[in-house]
Structure 1
Amino acid sequence: MIGIVLAGGQSRRYGSPKAFAQYRGKCFYEYAIAALTPHCTEIVIVARPQDIDRFPSGLHVVTDLQEYAEKGPLAGILTGMHTIQSDWYAVLPCDVPFADDSIIRELQNYRTGHMSVAIEVDGKPHPLLSIWNEGTEPMIRASLETENRSVRPLIDNWVDGQALLDEKPSIFDNVNSPGQIEGR
């Protein structure tokens, strides 16, 4: 399985690239890598062009495929799939620093057909904490070509397994402002 770290967001609400925000002395992207590493043979980070040089040289960092540049997380997932061939891809956005390897392990238990996604405490899918089968690549490409950039509507058609992880709700905390992480 290949790990895809989504680190290409504009971070408008955060005010600076979230991938490099720090929590307890580590960058957010480092938490995503740590969560994926026990389960993935390789990890690719999909980032914005202006941030490529900010990552350490030993990491595999790419930018969106040119034809889908800046078209959101779905473009990042497609780019990761295009970069390294695999049967399965574990996807983790960089702005959920509380996610750990247990979420990937749990998602693997529910991996059956096209994809499996994590389910939030309130029962709504969190589409970016997910595992995708290589067979979804043409569907992602078709969605992007029709300007449908959202991952959430696609879940109803593709999700074959849903992992209910309500015993650890903080893993779903998406950090959108610097003050949000203080006091944790």
Structure 2
Amino acid sequence: MIGIVLAGGQSRRYGSPKAFAKFRGKYFYEYAMDALASHCSEIIIIARPEDVDRFPDAVTVVTDILEFAGQGPLAGILTGMCTIKSDWYAVLPCDVPFADGLIIQKLVNHRAGFTSVAIEEAGKLHPLLSLWSKEAEFEIRSLLEQEKRSVRPLIEKWVDGSDLLKETPNLFENVNRPGQLEGR
């Protein structure tokens, strides 16, 4: 399985690239990489062109494929699929620093028979905490060609992740503004 870290967003509300925000001395993108590491043979970061050189040389970083550049997370997922071939892809955004490998394991446990699975908890959908089969590539490309960018319609199965909150209550927290994690 290949890990895809989505780090190419605009970060409008945050004010600067979230991938390079720090929490407890560690960059946000490093948290995503750590969560993927035990499940993935390789990890690729999808970033904005102006941020590529900010990552260490040891990290595989690419930008969106040209025909869909800047078209959101779906373009990032497709870029990862086109960059490194695999049967499965585990996707995490860089702005969910409490995400861990238990999320990926839960998704792996529920992927049989589906081309995409994502986390939901208490009615809240987390489409970017997801797994994608290579079989989804054609449909992703087709939607992007139609200028449709929503990830949610492509998720075939929503996996209840509520039980994972017992260990880490903030597991699914998305960081959207500076200072959101102060005091933790």
How far off its partner does 1:165 sit? 1.4
When normalised by structure 1's length, the TM-score is: 0.95
Aligned counterpart, 1:131: 131
Cα distance in 1 for residues equivalent to 2:84 and 2:171: 27
Map 1:1-184 → 2, pairs under 5 A? 1-112=1-112, 113-120=114-121, 122-155=122-155, 159-160=156-157, 162-167=158-163, 168=165, 169-184=169-184
Partner AA of 1:183 in structure 2: G
163-172 or 83-92, which moves further after superposition? 163-172
Cα distance in 2 for residues equivalent to 1:124 and 1:108: 20
- What count of residue pairs does the alignment treat as equivalent? 179
Cα distance in 1 for residues equivalent to 2:61 and 2:38: 19
**Residue 5 of structure 2 contacts residue 93 of structure 2 at CA under 8 Å; is this kept in 1?**
yes
Cα distance in 2 for residues equivalent to 1:163 and 1:153: 15
Runs of 4+ off more than 3 Å: none
| Aligned partner of residue 181 in structure 1, secondary structure | coil
Cα distance in 2 for residues equivalent to 1:59 and 1:179: 27
How far off its partner does 1:163 sit? 2.3
Partner AA of 2:161 in structure 1: L
How far off its partner does 1:66 sit? 0.4
The alignment yields a C-alpha RMSD, in angstroms, of 0.9
